[in-house]
Amino acid sequence: MTKTRVWVPVMTTIALSMAAGNAMAKVTEAEAAKLGKELTCVGAEAGPNADGSIPAFSGKWLGKPPHVEYTLHVGQHPVDVYPEDKPLFEITAANVDKYADKLSAGQIAMFKRFPETFRIPVYQSRRDFRYPDQICEVAKKNALEAELTDGGLGYTGYKGPIGFPIPKEAMEVLANMNFPYRAHSEEMIRDLADVASDGSITWGRGVSKNLNIVTSPGEIGKPMEGLMAYSLSGAILPERDRGNYTVSQEPVNFAKNKRLAWTYDPGTRRVRQVPTYGFDSPLTGSSGKLTIDQERLFNGDPSRYEWKLLGKKEMYIPANTYRLHANTVKYADLLKKGHANPDYLRYELRRVWVLEGSLKENFRHAFGKRVMFIDEDNWQASVGDYYDTRGQLWQHAFINHYYAFDLNAWQAGTSFYHDLNSGAYIANSLLQEREKGPILNKGDLTPEMFTPAALRAMGQ
């Protein structure tokens, strides 16, 4: 039985931000031999925890389970793999102290902010899905060969899976979070709800297309270099923003290249390059309440923060959230005053890596500190707590992930961003009432669709 590592105070070697840029990533052959055995192929602990509340990794399914009816790559909404599951128990304001060691500061703050209504329904933990063999093979190769470069802003290694399945320090965990194995093409029309403290809603709607180069079939196993991804976002709602489009190009190494972006303004019918795109610039359609680098809880250039790895802990996080994403869910039932209806949420006890970023001196950002909780089984950030520049807890956010059969990997679904001061929140990536869910790995996106010329053509 593999014992769970506890969340311990940061050790000096772990806390290093790699400011000096030392390469210290490769693991030994003996360590790498654990992958696929006592560790999963991406480095999660394969065994259960001490009392079995986190089960052993089964990995019994690759892609669509036999009992599920689902058509790949067409935008079918997710189908619940575990329809018979019921909550084991619920965490409420009355019993939160009992579970506080397995919650984040932001989760605990939600119980204090909404003591009468906020609940965390806890389900049986499930670890039944695995990654393709090719991804596992490249992950092991990365474990033996990948190294951080340029102060942790880049790394050598190979495209496809994460670079550091057996991480030693903060910037390796951050690299894994930024480069998990996920969809290589993603298209959707998604809704965004700006839910005020009184429960009233202002709606946004947008087009989103993403082409992830590093997980594209023809790129897997090639050296980690060049561009990471292309993206396009366009506003449909609110009406004042309708027709605004942005395309961006994301590098794999922010020390050598920067994120480039261009926007199309329907008023002037002109395309212009954005001088600085990312960081705490407002996310399109969020009424200025979300920052661009809050998508997926964190994305983009990490150089404004000092990063520390606070270890690993057991924590209740959203996982296997199929019910939330069904096309039978109505926004009116889901989006309640203060927070989403807990009846649609699913939390499980899982092991997470805890990563903290503190704003460097002489750098500007709305968030003075951000703490992210990263699921060891998929390396995607599940929960994020955000602090203002005075050190006060300000926002709590979480993403509801599910294993998507279209890509044999985990997909980031609907996310919720809570302002703990005002009691308002943003519900992002809502597709429940859209005709289609996300169209994943259809493979019809090309780099030529994400250029200034393509923006001009869209405005004609």
Is-contact 172 178, C-beta < 8 A? no
Query: What is the per-residue pLDDT for 460?
Result: 67
All residues at 6 or more sequence positions from 45 whose CB lies less than 8 Å from its CB, including other chains: 2, 4, 5, 38, 39, 351, 376
* Residue 284: predicted pLDDT: 75
For residues 264 and 181, give the distance between their C-alpha atoms in angstroms, rounded to a whole number.
Answer: 31
Q: Which stretches in the chain have pLDDT values below 70?
A: 1-25, 460
pLDDT at 287: 77
Alpha helices per DSSP H over 81-132: 96-99, 105-113
> Which DSSP helix (H) or strand (E) runs through 456?
helix 452-458
d(CA 170, CA 250): 21
Domain ranges of the chain: 78-124+183-458
- The tens digit of pLDDT for each residue in 260-295 reads 999 999 999 999 999 989 999 998 778 789 999 999
Distance (Å, rounded) from C-alpha 274 to C-alpha 400?
A: 31
DSSP state, 41? T
| Residue type present at position 124 | Q
Nearest Cα to 377, choosing from 314, 440, 323?
Answer: 314
Unique residue bearing structure tokens 């128990």: 89
Round to whole Å and give the CA distance between 343 and 327: 15
Q: What is residue 228's predicted lDDT score, i.e. its pLDDT?
A: 98
Helix ranges, 46-187 (H): 96-99, 105-113, 133-145, 170-178
Q: What is the pTM of this model?
A: 0.94
Q: Give the DSSP per-residue string, 125-153.
A: ----B---HHHHHHHHHHHHH--EEGGGT
Q: Give the pLDDT of residue 4.
A: 38
| pLDDT, tens digit (0-9, with 9 covering 90-100), for 224-254 | 999 999 999 999 999 999 999 999 999 999 9
259, 250 in Cβ contact below 8 A? yes
Residue 13 and residue 169 in contact, taking contact as beta carbons nearer than 8 Å: yes
pLDDT value at residue 293? 97
CA-closest candidate to residue 335, choices 346, 327, 324: 324
Residue with tokens 């396009």: 232
Task: Give CATH superfamily name and number for 78-124+183-458.
Answer: Lipoprotein localisation LolA/LolB/LppX (2.50.20.10)
